[in-house]
A and B are shown apart, each in its own frame.
Chain A
Amino acid sequence: MTRQARIGLFAVSAAGLAALMLWGASGLPSFGHYRGPYGQIVNHVAPSERHVTNVVTAVVFDYRGVDTLGEEFILFAAAMGVALLLREVRDPRARRNDRVSSDAVRLAGVGFAAGLFVLGLSVVAHGPITPGGGFQGGVVLASAFALVYLAGDYRSYRKLTPSFGIDLAKGTGLGVFTVVGIVSLLLGTGYLHNFGPLGTAGTLASGGTISILNIATGLEVMAAFVLLFTEFLEELAVTRAPR
């Protein structure tokens, strides 16, 4: 099919699709007047039933925990896929181009990276209480490592992120999530049913298994993103190698 024919065909079908979607949207409740019962029920029962104040975290790691497990497998598979694809063609003899920045930039970078890492830990730890959680905090933690590369050099970045440690963190995160589900099965409840001691709402140790799954997710998201950074940075270091 020629390019013109394809775009012509697309124009006709896109007009139809847009019309269909607008028609569908007009059947939705007017913006701000949503009356779906499920979310409102969760809002009312989650704080007393699960002792968490962040209901979004309760939904992610408890009420819809199986869904999140699926998402984590997608994340895991995508990161492994990137590693597999990019490692295959890499020439191991290629020289590494290592850019060394000034001492002032390095010092400021290390300071920011340390602060960012602590912020990430805090975002993960307070997942059941305030906005944040494993997914958001994991990305913040990974960006602290990216900052080490940006302000410093590739060698110090790799020293901080050894492949074995990253693989271990990635596997542990996903493994803990899966095993917690199996333990709840062994206790005679449904898969990923919350069984931990619920603690006091508003404290760090609240929410039972929500806390455990939250930290496991933070670990896995951090490791997956660091792996992605490493693989793409490795490409950059190789392709920009001086002749």
Chain B
Amino acid sequence: MSYLPYALAVWLFVVGLYGVVTSRNLIHLVVCLTVMQSSTYVLLLSIGYVNRATAPIFADVPRGTRAVDPVVQALTLTDVVVGVAVAALLLALSMQVQKHLGTTDPDELQQMHG
């Protein structure tokens, strides 16, 4: 089952996308988007994983110990923090939509401006 982590990333992405497409509420849509985004964390971290390796931190282990890839971990780290801030921005936009148009259903928004 050595491809299971990659399959998990694909599953998270597709199931999140399904939620985005079928969503009837903007708040729900933003949550689905964060599910989609979490697939990138799983993918990045599982790509960089090395069997029987330690974390890329050499405070307690001697230098040269086999460690997992630090680059994908750094990418994931910044991604998590920035992802939360962007989700907050989208939620603020949803609140504005509710205030101005009185609905959070994306389908109704389409009818209003269609």
Residues of A that sit less than 8 Å from B by CB = 3, 6-7, 10, 14, 17-18, 21-22, 25-26, 28-34, 36, 38-40, 42-44, 46-48, 53-56, 58-60, 63-64, 67-68, 71, 74-75, 78-79, 81-82, 85-86, 88-89, 129-131, 133, 135-136, 138-139, 202, 221, 224-225, 228, 231-232, 235
Contacts and interface: CB of A to CB of B under 8 A. Distances in A.
Contacts of B55: 131
Nearest to A79: B85
A28 B56 CA distance: 22
Contacts of B18: 10, 14
Nearest to A64: B74
Given A82-B89, A129-B59, A89 B2 contact: no
The size bracket of the interface on B is 35 or more
Nearest to A36: B69
B107 A3 contact: yes
30 contacts: A17-B14, A25-B7, A25-B9, A28-B3, A30-B2, A31-B3, A32-B50, A33-B50, A34-B48, A36-B48, A38-B69, A38-B71, A39-B69, A42-B71, A53-B58, A54-B57, A55-B58, A55-B70, A56-B70, A58-B70, A59-B73, A60-B77, A63-B71, A71-B81, A71-B82, A75-B85, A78-B82, A135-B77, A135-B81, A136-B77
B10 A14 contact: no
B59 A21 contact: no
Contacts of A63: 71
Interface in B52-85: 55-59, 63-64, 67-74, 77-82, 84-85
B95 A6 contact: no
Contact of A224 (B73, B77, B85): B85
Contacts of A28: 3, 6, 47
Given A79-B85, A131-B57, 11 more contacts: A25-B3, A28-B6, A32-B50, A60-B78, A71-B81, A74-B85, A82-B89, A86-B92, A131-B55, A133-B77, A221-B81
Interface of B: 2-7, 9-10, 13-14, 17-18, 21-22, 46-51, 55-59, 63-64, 67-74, 77-82, 84-86, 88-89, 91-93, 95-96, 99, 107
Centre residue among B72, B79, B85 by max chain A CB count within 10 A: B85
Among A29, A30, A135: residue with most chain B CB under 10 A = A135
A67 B17 CA distance: 27
Nearest to A15: B14
Nearest to B4: A31
Nearest to B67: A43
A56 B88 contact: no
A231 B71 contact: no
Contacts of B73: 56, 59
Contacts of B107: 3
A133 B81 CA distance: 12
A52 B93 CA distance: 41
B95 to A, nearest CB: 7
